Chain A
C-alpha cells in the first residue's frame, strides 16, 4: 500500500485522499495515515503551503494567516530512489 501511494502521488502531482482511497480501496483515514507514515520514514517531506501562519509580516496591511493553508508534499531522494527501483523491477 505504501509503495502504491508513493507512486500515485509522484505521478499525479496532486492528490485527494478520497480519490486515492477509492483507487486503492482503502479509507480516507487510512490514506492519511499512510502518507504520515511515508513522511515519518522520510520518503515524503511535508511543507507548509503558506508559511504566513508561522511567520508574521511586520509591516504589511494584509499579512494574516491563510484560512485554509494548502498541504504540499515533496518526494525526497529516498522516495525517488524507491520509485525508480520499482520501475526497474517492473
Chain B
C-alpha cells in the first residue's frame, strides 16, 4: 500500500485535511521512543488503498524539537511515496520555509494550499500557476474544513507518486554551492547517496543528528574538520538563502492589500515617540485620564454607590433596632462592616472609570510607546529600559509589578526594578487619595492624583539611580521592544478588563478588607467596658504607641497611625480604618467631613505622601521574599520605603508650616 504523508506548520489545517481524507478510517498511537502522537488512516481512491500518515505540525525540519525530528525521520526513513505539504494560504511566508526543506530532501511533494477562503476574505491574491512553476511542485487550492479541493488533491497526489521528484532550485551562494558539491561527491556510493543533496546541506548547517549519522564516512569527517570555523556562518547563510528564495517566490506570485494603517501608525509614532515630545505627551495623556476619571467617576457616577451604601446602612440599622439586636452586633455591622468595608466600596465608580481609560490606552497599543519613550530616561539614569514596563504593571498592583521584573536577566537590573516597584501607585491606594482629594482638593482632583503618580515615578527613578551607583553597580543590558500597530480599542476587551479589576476589588473588599475590619473592630471594643473606638481600646493604645513617630509629619493622631499600620495588611484598609474610627460607621460624605475636621490641607498632603511611599502591602513583601529568596531583601523592602515616605512627609509638613500653609 502506498504511503502519503501529511506535513505542515501547526494550525495550517493539516489535521482537518487528514480527517477529510481518511474519515473514520484512522487510528492514533505514538511514534516509537517519543511521546509524539502518531495518526494514521486509510484512503480509498480508484479501487486502491493508500496509507495516510499525519506527521507532527512543525515549522522546520531541523533538529530543534522532537516534532521536527519525528517528521523528518519519517520522510527520510519511512519512505512515503508522496508528501502532501499543507500550507496556510493566509501566512505563506511562514509556511513556505518548510516547503524549501522538503525540496532540499528531494521528496515528491504536492502542496495543499489550504484556507483559501480566508485568504480571499483577506484579499490576498495568489497566482497558483506562478507559485507552482517557481517551486516546481503541483499545487491544489483547498478549504479542508469545507472539503473543497479534496478530490483534486487526492488525484494530484496519486499522480505525483509516478512522477520524478522536484529539483531544488535554491542557490546558497557561490561558496556554499561549491562546498555542497564537494560533500555530495563524498557521499557517492555510500548508503546515504539517495539523500546526498539534503545531507550535504544539513551537514553544513551543523545539524548534530545528521553529523552523528555520517561519522563512519572518513572523507566527510575530514571535510567537516576543515570547515569547522565557518559552521556558524554557513548555518545562518543557508537559512537566509531559503528565506530569500521564499521572498522571491512570494514577490512573483502573491499580492496583498496595502496596509494603510501602517502609514498612520508611522505618522503617529513620529510624534508620540519623538525624543523631545514623547515624555510631555505621555504626561499630558495621563493627566487627561486622571481629569476624566474625576469628571466621570466622581461627578457623574460618584453618588450612586454611596447612595446604595447609605441606604443599606439605614436599612440594616433599622432592622437591627427592630429586632432588638445586642449593641455589640449593631456596632459590628454598622461601624465595622458598613463603615469599614463600605468606605472602600464607595470608590468603585472612580476605579471603574480610571481602569476603563487605562484599558483603552493599553488596547490601542500606546503603552508600548510609553515604555519606549521612558527607555531613554531609564538608560540615562543607568537603569534598564524594561524596568519601566514592570513599573507600568505596578500601577495596577505591585505584586505582578514585582513579578514582571523576572524579564530582566541581569541580576543588577532586576534587583533595582524590584526594589523601586512599590513606589508605583497601585489601584489599592486610590481610595485613600480619593478621600483626601474629596475633603481638601476637590476642584483640583485630577492634578493631585496626577502629581501623586508622578511623585511615585520620580522617587522610584531617584532610588533606582542611587541603587545603580551604590548597591548594584554594573552595565545595563540591551533590549528591543515591539511597537505594534495602533488599533481601535475593542470595547469588549476594555470593558472585560475593567470588570475583572472591579470584581477583584469587590472580592478583596469582601475577604481581606472584611477580615482586617473584623480584627480591628475586635481590637476597638476591648478591653470590655471601654468606649468603642476610643483611645483606651486596644486599637487606640496601639495607635497611641505609634503616633509619636508621625507627629513631626503632622498626622500624629492615634487614628491616622493605626490606619497606616492596618494599611500594611492591605492598602485599602487605611480608608476602612478611617471610616471606622473617624466616621463611626459613616462612609463617603460622612468620612470626608470627619477627615476635614481632623486634617488640614497640609497634613493631608503629608499623609498622602506617606501612604504613597511607605511600606508596601504584605502581599508585595511576600512576593519580594519569594522572588529574591531572601528575608534580607524582604526586610529591606519593608523598612526603606517607610523611611523614604516618613522623611519626605516630614519635610513637606515642616517646610509647609514654615511657609505658613
A47-B407, A60-B397 known; A33 and B371 CB under 8 Å? no
A60-B399, A61-B505, A63-B399 known; A33 and B404 CB under 8 Å? no
Judge whether B359 is part of the interface by a CB distance below 8 angstroms.
yes
Instruction: Give 1 or 0 for each of A55-71: 1 = CB within 8 Å of chain B CB.
Output: 10111111110111011
Chain B contributes a number of interface residues (CB within 8 A of A) equal to 78
Contact with A37, one of B243, B385, B512 (Cβ below 8 angstroms): B243
Please tell me if the beta carbons of B399 and A17 are within 8 angstroms of each other in the complex: no
Please tell me if the beta carbons of A50 and B393 are within 8 angstroms of each other in the complex: yes
Chain A contributes a number of interface residues (CB within 8 A of B) equal to 52
A62-B505, A68-B365 known; A51 and B235 CB under 8 Å? no
Contact with B480, one of A13, A27, A33, A50 (Cβ below 8 angstroms): A13
B398-424 contacts to A, CB under 8 A, are 398-400, 403-404, 406-407, 409
- Say whether chain B's binding surface is mostly helix, strand, loop, or mixed: helix
Contact with B485, one of A13, A16, A51 (Cβ below 8 angstroms): A16
Q: Which residues from chain B contact A72 at a C-beta distance below 8 Å?
A: 386, 389, 407, 479-482
The segment from B262-270, B440-448, B454-462 found at the interface with A is B262-270
Please tell me if the beta carbons of B375 and A51 are within 8 angstroms of each other in the complex: no
Please tell me if the beta carbons of B504 and A74 are within 8 angstroms of each other in the complex: no
A1-18 contacts to B, CB under 8 A, are 1-3, 9-10, 12-18
Contact with B482, one of A17, A63, A82 (Cβ below 8 angstroms): A17
- Report the Cα distance A66→B265, complex, angstroms: 21
Please tell me if the beta carbons of A13 and B240 are within 8 angstroms of each other in the complex: no
Residue of A nearest to B390 (CB): A50
Please tell me if the beta carbons of A64 and B501 are within 8 angstroms of each other in the complex: yes
Q: Which of B265, B368, B570 has the most CB of A within 10 A?
A: B368
Q: Which residues from chain B contact A36 at a C-beta distance below 8 Å?
A: 59, 94
Please tell me if the beta carbons of B481 and A18 are within 8 angstroms of each other in the complex: no
Contact with A2, one of B94, B239, B407, B500 (Cβ below 8 angstroms): B239
- Report the Cα distance A87→B496, complex, angstroms: 48
- Report the Cα distance A56→B478, complex, angstroms: 27
Please tell me if the beta carbons of B244 and A62 are within 8 angstroms of each other in the complex: no
Please tell me if the beta carbons of A13 and B478 are within 8 angstroms of each other in the complex: yes
Q: Which residues from chain A contact B246 at a C-beta distance below 8 Å?
A: 30
Q: Which residues from chain A contact B389 at a C-beta distance below 8 Å?
A: 49-50, 70, 72
Give, as a whole number of angstroms, the nearest-CB distance from A82 to chain B.
Answer: 7
Give, as a whole number of angstroms, the nearest-CB distance from A74 to chain B.
Answer: 5
B530-580 contacts to A, CB under 8 A, are 570, 572
B254-299 contacts to A, CB under 8 A, are 256, 259, 262, 265-266, 269, 273
Closest 5 CB pairs of A and B: A59-B619, A57-B399, A62-B427, A60-B397, A18-B262
Instruction: Identify 8 residue pairs between A and B in the complex whose beta-carbon atoms are under 8 Å apart, listed by A's number.
Output: A13-B372, A14-B483, A15-B481, A29-B91, A49-B368, A52-B403, A57-B399, A60-B397
- Residues of A whose CB lies within 8 Å of any CB of B are 1-3, 9-10, 12-19, 22, 26-30, 32-34, 36-37, 40-41, 44, 47-52, 55, 57-64, 66-68, 70-75, 82
